[in-house]
Chains A and B, each alone.
Chain A
Amino acid sequence: MASHNLKHALFCAIVTLIISYPILGFNLESQGIDVTLEGAETSTVLGVLLAAVIVFLFQLFRDNVMGSLRQLPAVNPLANRKPMEQSKRLKLESTLLTLMVIGALIWPFIASRGAVDLATLVLIYIMLALGLNVVVGLAGLLDLGYVAFYAVGAYTFALLSQYYGVSFWFALPIGALLAALFGLVLGFPVLRLRGDYLAIVTLGFGEIIRILLNNMTSLTGGPNGIGGIPDPTLFGMEFGRRVKEEGNTSFHETFGIAYSGEHKVIFLYLIALVLAVITAIAIRRLMRMPVGRAWEALREDEIAAKSLGLSRTAVKLSAFTIGAFFAGFAGTVFASKQGFISPESFVFLESAIILAIVVLGGMGSQMGVILAAIAVTILPELAREFSEYRMLIFGAAMVLMMVWRPQGLMPMRRIHIELKRQE
Chain B
Amino acid sequence: MLEVQNLSMRFGGLLAVDQVSLDVQEHEIVAIIGPNGAGKTTVFNCMSGFYKPTGGKILFEGREIQGKPDYKISRLGLVRTFQHVRLFGRMTVVENLLVAQHRHLNTNLLAGILKTPNYREKEQKSLDRAAYWLDRVGLTELANREAGNLAYGQQRRLEIARCMVTEPKLLMLDEPAAGLNPAETKDLNQLIISLKEDYNVSVVLIEHDMSLVMDISDRINVINQGRPLASGTPDEIRRNDDVIKAYLGEA
Contacts and interface: CB of A to CB of B under 8 A. Distances in A.
B82 A306 contact: no
Given A291-B107, A293-B102, A308-B162, A417 B144 contact: yes
A293 B143 CA distance: 16
Nearest to A422: B135
B5 to A, nearest CB: 23
A305 B143 contact: no
B246 interface: no
Contacts of B100: 308
A420 interface: yes
Contact of A306 (B71, B95, B98, B162): B71
Interface stretch (A196-204, A282-290, A379-387): A282-290
B206 to A, nearest CB: 15
B109 to A, nearest CB: 7
B105 A290 contact: yes
A419 B142 CA distance: 11
B90 A300 contact: yes
B1 interface: no
A285 B99 contact: no
Given A293-B102, A294-B99, A414-B144, A304 B86 contact: yes
A303 B135 CA distance: 26
B6 interface: no
A139 to B, nearest CB: 13
B130 A297 contact: no
Interface string A275-314: 0000000100110011101101100110111111111100
A291 B109 contact: yes
B88 A297 contact: yes
A416 interface: yes
B154 interface: no
B92 interface: yes
A323 to B, nearest CB: 14
B131 A307 contact: no
B134 A419 contact: yes
A307 B80 contact: yes
Interface string B150-166: 00000000000011001
Contacts of B72: 309
Contact of A297 (B80, B99, B109, B131): B99
B60 to A, nearest CB: 14
A417 B94 contact: yes
Interface string B62-104: 0000000111101100011010001111111011001111110
A300 B147 CA distance: 11
Contacts of B135: 422
B95 A414 contact: yes
B48 A308 contact: no
Q: Which of A294, A296, A297: most chain B Cβ within 10 A?
A: A297
Given A289-B112, A308-B163, 4 more contacts: A290-B112, A291-B112, A306-B69, A419-B134
Q: What are the 8 tightest A-B residue pairs by CB atom distance, in nearest-first order? A: A304-B86, A300-B88, A289-B112, A422-B135, A419-B131, A309-B74, A290-B102, A297-B99
Interface of B: 48, 50, 69-72, 74-75, 79-80, 82, 86-92, 94-95, 98-103, 105-107, 109, 112-113, 115, 127-128, 130-132, 134-135, 140, 143-144, 146, 162-163, 166
13 contacts: A285-B112, A286-B112, A289-B113, A293-B98, A294-B99, A296-B99, A300-B87, A303-B50, A307-B71, A307-B79, A308-B166, A416-B144, A422-B135
